[in-house]
Structure formats: structure tokens, C-alpha cells
Amino acid sequence: MKKRTLGSTLLQISELGLGCMSLGSDENEAIQTIHAAIDAGINYIDTADLYDFGRNEEIVGKALKDRRDQVVLATKVGNRWNQSKDTWSWDPSKKHIQEGVKESLLRLNTDYIDLYQLHGGTIEDHYEETIEAFDELVKEGTIRYYGISSIRPNVFQRFSKHSSIQSVMMQYNVLERRPEEFFSQLAKQSISVIVRGAVAKGLLTNNWQNKIKSSGYMSYSEHELIETINQLTQLLDQDQTLHSLALHYLLQNNAVSSLAVGARDQKQLSENISAYYSNPLSNQQVTFIKEHTHAETYTDHR
């Protein structure tokens, strides 16, 4: 599997990563899925302290026992569950980050994190304090690098200007192309884009007809969505699927370093890997996709 550089680091991460949020609570199945991903050449593993109240990190930690040196491990911090665990609050304070990383290290059964990501952000945050916390963790060797997971331009742009972030995780897919506006800027700063939501909640897979909702998706009405996906399926050549189109469209942009695609089990992982190894898109196909999908920009948080 091909790899790309993470930001300005020397780390090489697989173009297809494993987003662990989708892993179920069946520990054995989840561990087998992670092992299968590593065996297939996937080395970017992405989780968060928020997922399943920390249980997700615990499972990842168990899966990586004796295999820690084979992966680039990423997790996230910034959200705090309340005592009843029915909602969470935002806390990007230095104190919470310093406490959170210790808890994540214990759950992940490791003494360092390769990529520690701020799991959100608002323009009202005391960002200097947040950056100071991450920089200190880098200096002490607890984390190797840090990034931010955010779709708010004013937030990730502020971090790109004032911190040493190596990545921005963004929701990006064929039906949600707003992040493209910032790709050239991030590339100039040697900041990688890590993609989440690559298959648009299953709308960009062979099972898309069962995923259609009357509310549509993003800026697409239900009618527009069906019409657009039908156009995309007619574009496919031999060995290509809607799933592979979804992945390869994202990877044709050099600003993207890895797709953190979720997999509930080994079957879904196999489908992701098969799509990744399908024939890439031609220049003509990429042009068609751009001409027949919405190319909007963010209107909020600018």
C-alpha cells in the first residue's frame, strides 16, 4: 500500500487508514479487524478518547500489543463526558489536555502517541494555552506531533498560523467538497489533510440506495442526491465501483495524506481495501466529477 508524508515530518502514513470509531464493542472482532488492517499494509490507526467512553482506545491498545512499532497511532482530546455519560462538554484547557493524554496512554497501552489531535475547537478558545500544552507534550516526548480535527476555517487557520500542527482532519468526500478551498494553502504550509467521512455515510458505496434519506445529504436534496449518484455510477469503467471512485477522487489531491475510513468488521475493511486497489480515476473522470457535484465553500466560522 502506498504511503504519503505526514506534514513536515518524516512519518510515512498509508493512503488508506483505519478510522476506529466504527469498530463495534465485540473486542475479539475489533482486534481481528485491526490486525487484518495492519497485515494489509495499513499503518495509520485513528481513534479518540471520546469514542465509546474510552473503550475504543482500550481495544486499540490491546490490538497493538506487540505491534505498536508497525503503526502510526493517532488519537484525539478536547471533549469531556459528563458523569451520567449522556453528553459531553468542550474543554481545550491545558489542564484537561495534560490529564487526557495520561489517560489515553494508559488505555492505549503505550508510552507515546504519534499524532495527538485537538478534537474540535471554537474561535472563543484560549488557543495559546492549548498550543502551549501540545508543545510541552512534544518536548517531553509524550507525543511526537499534533494536529487538529476541525471543519471551522477560522479555527484551523488560526492553528496553522500560530502552532506546529502537522495535520487537519476534515470531513471531505465527493458530495462534500468545501475543504478543497483550503488545500493549496495547507499544502504550502506542509500541513496534511486527513480525511474523515470519505464514503458519505455509505452514500458512496454499492449500498447507496439503502442510505438515501428524505432530508438528502449536506447541500443535496433527496432528488439531487439520487440524480448525482446515478451520474457518478454511469461514469465508472471496468473494475471501478462507486466505492473506489469515492476513495480515488480524494487521493488524486496531493494535499491529502490519508483517508481514515471506518470499518465495523473485517468484511467492511475488505471492501475498503478492494476499493482502494481498484483502477484509479482518469483526468476526464475527475473533471466530470468536479463539474457534476457541488463545489461550495464554508459560509460559517470564517
Q: Which of 149, 130, 127, 128 is nearest to 49 (CA)?
A: 149
DSSP 8-state secondary structure symbol assigned to residue 220: B
- Measured from the Cβ of residue 173, the count of other Cβ atoms closer than 10 Å reads 24
Q: Is 44 a catalytic residue?
A: no
C-alpha cell at 5: 508524508
Judged on CB neighbours under 10 Å (0-12, 13-18, 19+), 248 is buried
Give the type of residue at 191: I
8 Å CB contact between 8 and 166: yes
Give the type of residue at 181: E
Enumerate the H helices of the chain as residue ranges. Answer: 27-39, 55-63, 94-108, 127-140, 153-162, 183-188, 222-234, 242-251, 266-276, 283-292
The greatest distance separating any two alpha carbons of the chain, rounded to the nearest whole angstrom, comes to 54
Rounded-to-integer distance, Cα 278 and Cα 243, Å: 9
Q: Which of 185, 177, 48 is nearest to 104 (CA)?
A: 48
How big is the chain by its Cα radius of gyration, in Å? Answer: 19
Neighbouring C-alpha atoms within 13 Å toward the C-beta of 170: 27
Paired sense of beta strands 72-77 and 113-118, if any:
parallel
Query: Between the CA of residue 172 and those of 60, 88, 93, what are the distances in Å?
Result: 25, 24, 28
Measured at the CA of 288, the angle between CA 286 and CA 292, to 5 degrees, comes to 120
Measured at the CA of 220, the angle between CA 216 and CA 225, to 5 degrees, comes to 70
Active-site option among 51, 146, 217, 276 = 51
Q: Which residues are catalytic?
A: 51
